[in-house]
């Protein structure tokens, strides 16, 4: 596909960003301007609750998906849905990020009442949830004092609170069935997550904590969650392409020039922890 031509016309960053054109666009009224999806020819990326679940760089995942779709000539509509708005039903990929305890609990409560995300997952939309978002789409998670809080039950995982925070670089080898290269990222959480019979581990941990039992993340159908926090797709473009493939079908390869910086970053980060990583599976 003619990726380069697409790029010139409409940049990946042109649709979404905390600043937009005016310095005031962090204000809620600017955020609320996003319209409901209109045409079927676009890939609709729905970022669920950036006001509550975006603790540390979660926007990166939206930007990476947007860029990698547009480089392949796929038009993208990016929709940011705040917690006081309804979650649109017609999205192709729903993104959820990390959050502190109070916003996480509020997000779970709002989403349970809204029902839009559950309906989208039920009809087969892709759901990609990170850290606190990963816990929220499970059946339950730990609240402010560790007390159980009900999740959305979109993914058969159940989380509680561990004794210590897992903080640092994480490396994990992905379920071979998914054909995605080793994950590299950063984790910062105190969750322990148990995977139920309705889901499979996304990966096995080679460095770091992950779910706490040697596995990392989980997936079932087109719903996928991970503890690799913030902009996990930046270093893991294979995972980004997996999500895009689930939404759009097989993808063309990108030009090497378009992969260059991400590949160098990925190699650098894996190299930085090479001495600490257990051998891959």
Residues 228-247 that bind other proteins (CB under 8 A): 229-231, 234
- Please state the φ and ψ torsions of residue 32, each to the nearest 5 degrees: -75, 0
User: Residues 17, 146, 198, 280: which binds other proteins (CB under 8 A)?
Assistant: 17
Answer yes or no: 229 catalytic: yes
> Which residue shows structure tokens 């940049």?
11
Q: How far apart are the first and last CA of the chain?
A: 35
60 binds other proteins (CB under 8 A): yes
The stretch among 23-31, 153-161, 192-200, 218-226 that binds other proteins (CB under 8 A) is 23-31
Among left, alpha and beta (phi > 0; psi -120 to 50; other), residue 131 is left
User: Residues 88, 103, 201, 210: which binds other proteins (CB under 8 A)?
Assistant: 103
Note whether 159 and 119 are within 8 A (CB). Answer: no
Note whether 217 and 177 are within 8 A (CB). Answer: no
Q: Which of 30, 34, 131, 179 is catalytic?
A: 131
32 binds other proteins (CB under 8 A): no
Residue 138 gets which letter from DSSP?
S
* CB contact set of 244 (below 8 Å; sequence gap of 6+): 43, 65, 68, 69, 74, 93, 251
**Tokens representing 256?**
């090497």
54 binds other proteins (CB under 8 A): yes
86 binds other proteins (CB under 8 A): no
The stretch among 154-162, 205-213, 224-232, 241-249 that binds other proteins (CB under 8 A) is 224-232
273 binds other proteins (CB under 8 A): no
Among left, alpha and beta (phi > 0; psi -120 to 50; other), residue 276 is alpha
Q: Count the site residues for other proteins by CB under 8 A.
A: 45
Answer yes or no: 179 catalytic: no
Residue 187 burial (10 A CB sphere; 0-12, 13-18, 19+) = buried
172 binds other proteins (CB under 8 A): no
CA distances from 87 to 39, 110, 245 (A): 17, 10, 23
84 binds other proteins (CB under 8 A): yes
Cβ proximity to other proteins, 56 vs 238, nearer residue: 56
- HSE (CB half, 13 Å, CA atoms) of 138? 33
CB of 2 vs other proteins, minimal distance in Å: 18
184 binds other proteins (CB under 8 A): no
Contact set with other proteins (CB under 8 A) = 11-14, 17-20, 26-28, 51-52, 54-60, 63-64, 67, 83-84, 100-103, 105-106, 167-169, 186, 188, 229-231, 234, 261-262, 264-265, 268
**Residues carrying an active site annotation:** 131, 229
């Amino acid at each position: 596909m003619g990726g380069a031509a697409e790029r010139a016309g409409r940049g990946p960053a042109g649709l979404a960003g905390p600043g937009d054109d005016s310095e005031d666009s962090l204000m809620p009224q600017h955020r609320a301007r996003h319209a409901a999806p209109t045409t079927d020819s676009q890939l609709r990326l729905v970022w669920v609750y950036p006001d509550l679940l975006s603790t540390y760089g979660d926007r990166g995942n939206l930007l990476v998906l947007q860029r990698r779709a547009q480089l392949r000539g796929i038009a993208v509509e990016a929709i940011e849905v705040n917690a006081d708005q309804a979650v649109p039903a017609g999205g192709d990929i729903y993104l959820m990020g990390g959050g502190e305890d109070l916003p996480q609990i509020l997000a779970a409560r709002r989403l349970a009442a809204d029902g839009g995300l559950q309906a989208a997952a039920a009809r087969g939309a892709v759901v990609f949830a990170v850290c606190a978002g990963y816990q929220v789409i499970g059946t339950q998670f730990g609240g402010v004092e560790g007390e159980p809080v009900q999740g959305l039950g979109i993914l058969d995982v159940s989380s509680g609170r561990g004794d210590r925070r897992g903080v640092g670089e994480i490396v994990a080898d992905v379920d071979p069935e998914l054909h995605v290269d080793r994950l590299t990222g950063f984790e910062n959480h105190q969750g322990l997550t148990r995977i139920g019979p309705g889901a499979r581990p996304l990966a096995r941990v080679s460095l770091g904590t992950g779910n706490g039992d040697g596995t990392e993340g989980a997936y079932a159908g087109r719903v996928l969650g991970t503890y690799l926090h913030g902009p996990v797709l930046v270093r893991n473009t294979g995972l980004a392409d997996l999500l895009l493939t689930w939404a759009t079908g097989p993808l063309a390869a990108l030009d090497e020039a378009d992969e260059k910086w991400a590949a160098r970053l990925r190699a650098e980060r894996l190299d930085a922890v090479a001495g600490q990583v257990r051998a891959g599976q």
